Amino acid sequence: MIELKPCPFCGCDAIIMDVFIPSYEGENGYFQPSILNYWVECKCCHVATMRYDAEIMAVRMWNRRTKE
């Protein structure tokens, strides 16, 4: 199980989100392959990481904190 740190802004719990974008052929005839993106988002204030191709990268970016 992946441990997520609480939100650095409000202290609430966070959740790992994902979105699947199916493949399609664009107007210009170029084929766009399927994409699966992950990000981590706060359940309360909805602050979030950028989208990443790998779930572990989204978690690492969320859990990253500066030293105080």
In a domain, 2, yes or no: no
Instruction: Supply 32's token pair.
Output: 């766009």
> For the segment 29-46, what is each residue's pLDDT rounded down to a tens digit?
888 888 899 999 999 999
In a domain, 51, yes or no: yes
Beta bridge partners of 19: 37
In a domain, 5, yes or no: no
Residue 45's domain spans which residues?
Answer: 14-63
The answer to whether residue 62 scores a pLDDT higher than 80 is: yes
The answer to whether residue 68 scores a pLDDT higher than 70 is: no
In a domain, 4, yes or no: no
pLDDT of residue 5: 96
Closest by CA position to 18, among listed 1, 2, 44, 41:
41
CA dihedral 61, 63, 65, 67 (to 10 degrees): -130
In a domain, 26, yes or no: yes
In a domain, 7, yes or no: no
Q: How many domains does the chain have?
A: 1
**What's the rounded mean pLDDT across residues 20-37?**
86
On average, the pLDDT of the chain sits at 92
In a domain, 31, yes or no: yes
In a domain, 6, yes or no: no
The answer to whether residue 18 scores a pLDDT higher than 70 is: yes
The answer to whether residue 66 scores a pLDDT higher than 80 is: no
Cβ neighbours for 68, distance < 8 A, ≥ 6 positions apart:
none
